[in-house]
Amino acid sequence: MTVGPAVPTPDDSPPSRIAGAKPGQDAPVARDAAPRSRVPVERTASGPAASRVVIPAIGVDAPMIELGLNPDDSLEVPAESDETGWWSGGAFPGERGAAVIAGHVDSTSGPAVFFRLGELDPGDEIQVTARSGQVERFIVERSKAAPKDDFPTREVYEATAGPSLRLITCTGQFAEQTGHYEDNLIVFARAA
């Protein structure tokens, strides 16, 4: 799975918060950093689960590991197709801001954890359980498919007034020559 590039700032540093942005202006981004380029297939994250993600409407009950950035500042992806990964450079689900969770849509052996992500409807519930046992609940607001080469970085990583959640996987046409899907599917959710 690859996640499309973010919009770089003129000095190529991570985007910074923009207080009081209005429609048509650059939106604020979470925690002063966002992945800026595609994720190479050969670099993946693994490790102990940070928590779990449960999405009853599509039968997801999966461990969630922490994801960082690759040396090229691209978002790591989970090593396993049956786990999800939370971008540790952003808000943790339930904190103020946009928490980002990525997961694979499929693998060479079949469907992966977010295979049915496109079936979510507004109003469906997403539960994220932290290591502490605290369960945060989110309600799906909408979904959006976007080309990886025109990824809506600011919309995905923007600072939000309250807790919000973004789930990301691949979608669209599979390009045999690159071994990647051409688009990302993004599910936007708000705290319940």
Q: Which is higher by pLDDT, 95 or 43?
A: 95
Q: Which is higher by pLDDT, 43 or 21?
A: 43
pLDDT tens figures, 111-134: 999 999 999 999 999 999 988 888
The percentage of residues in the chain with a pLDDT greater than 70, rounded to a whole number, is 74
Element counts in the chain: helices (H) and strands (E) = 1, 10
Which has the closest alpha carbon to 66: 77, 74, 82, 55? 77
Read off the pLDDT of each residue in 154-161 and give the average, rounded to a whole number: 91
Taking the C-alpha atoms of 127, 130, 133 and 139 in order, what is their torsion angle to the nearest 10 degrees? -20
Q: For 30-191, which CATH class?
A: mainly beta
Partnered with residue 180 across adjacent β-strands are 175
76, 45 in Cβ contact below 8 A?
A: yes
